[in-house]
Amino acid sequence: MIIKSKQIIERIGVFHNDREEMFNTVEKLKKGGYGDNTRCSISGIQLVTYRNLSESDQVKLKDLYPKLIIHHEEPGILSDGYYVFYTEHERIIEGREN
């Protein structure tokens, strides 16, 4: 076995209260060395929300993050009710080449 390289990657998950806050926070994270949002669907579309939150999910999120805003849409074909804005970002902490 030959290991070509080794990296330590830091990954953070970030909740946002609205789209504007999300865009501003992502820009700040990029300036701090983090990459863009890494969450994406199988087809490669970037995901920025956790949708279809159950009542117990909502209670847990409110207990853990009291200032987090949980949004609501009327359930329908393209909407499934409660959601929050959430992104994940990575940056390389340490790397070396062999």
Q: pLDDT by residue (tens digit) across 6-56?
A: 889 999 999 999 999 999 999 999 999 999 999 988 888 888 998 888 899
Amino acid at residue number 26: V
Instruction: Show the domain range for 57.
Output: 5-93
For residue 23, being part of any structural domain is answered with yes
C-alpha span between 76 and 49 (Å, rounded): 17
Total structural domains within the chain: 1
Tokens (6 digits) for 6: 């080794």
The pTM for the full model equals 0.82
For residue 29, being part of any structural domain is answered with yes
Amino acid at residue number 78: L
For residue 98, being part of any structural domain is answered with no
